[in-house]
Amino acid sequence: MITAVRLAHKLMKECIGTGDIVIDATAGNGHDTLFFSECVGDTGTVIAIDIQEEAISSTRHVMEHHQRNNARLIIGDHADMNKLLKEFEGRIAGISFNLGYLPGANDHTIITKTSSTIAALNACLNLLHEQGCISAIAYRGHDHGLDEAHAVEQWMGALPAHDWHVISMSAINQSTVSPILFFARRKTTQGSMT
């Protein structure tokens, strides 16, 4: 089945490779972190951030279970990525957001919020290197999620065409509120893309 997560992984895989540094800005249950950890290999690093301790401990468990030890796990707000990850400015190959709440958690009030999501997207501009990419999946099935998806679309749509390739993808024969994937890739300074 084609899902937003699978598409996001395929596109991210095009941009990241062995030895790269990737940020999972919404670690959650660690599935994306594990995928990126395998993409970048033992010489690469995944920095996984989540605002909830529960999510980070879930991610740690998944990584240990799969014997992966190339992730740095951070309990924190992705809106603060510029401060938290200052040493990585201009060094990141890809940054992933899988928005919403932690699947399986009792408390669904801990959810990504439009203001912090946009602050985190702004931070990506400093962190990514040439040809780096941003992937963001937004869930439009509830009011807040719909507003957040619109804000991400506006932010992505405002990236200058000279410097970025930007696309969005969603199912068009299903509910109008199915998950939507936004994907942006920074061009080289020459403006081309490999």
Residues 127-166 that bind ligand SAM (CB under 6 A): none
**Amino acid in position 107:** D
Task: Name beta bridge partners: 182.
Answer: 136, 168
DSSP state of 187: P
With contact defined as beta carbons under 8 Å apart, do 84 and 25 qualify?
no
Among 7, 57, 77, 125, binds ligand SAM (CB under 6 A): 77
Region of 44-52, 63-71, 124-132, 169-177 interacting with ligand SAM (CB under 6 A): 44-52
DSSP state of 52: -
CB-count burial class (<10 Å; 0-12, 13-18, 19+) for 147: middle
User: What x/- string results for residues 9 through 38 when contact with ligand SAM is judged by CB under 6 A?
Assistant: -----------------xxxxxxx------
Residue number, 110 or 166, with CB nearest to ligand SAM: 110
121 vs 135: CA distance, rounded Å: 10
Tell me which residue has its CB nearest to ligand SAM: 28
Cβ neighbors of 140 (< 8 A, separation 6 or more) are 146, 149, 176, 177, 178, 179, 180
Among 38, 52, 164, 165, binds ligand SAM (CB under 6 A): 52
For residue 121, state whether it binds ligand SAM (rule: CB under 6 A).
Answer: no
Among 55, 95, 127, 181, binds ligand SAM (CB under 6 A): 55
* The two structure tokens encoding residue 139: 């869930």
User: With contacts defined by CB under 6 A, how many residues of the chain interact with ligand SAM?
Assistant: 23
Residue number, 97 or 191, with CB nearest to ligand SAM: 97
**Of 146, 148, 149, 152, nearest to 166 (Cα)?**
152
**Nearest distance from C-beta of residue 132 to ligand SAM, angstroms:** 19
Which residues in this chain contact ligand SAM in the complex, by CB under 6 A?
A: 26-32, 49-52, 55, 77-79, 98, 100-102, 110-112, 116
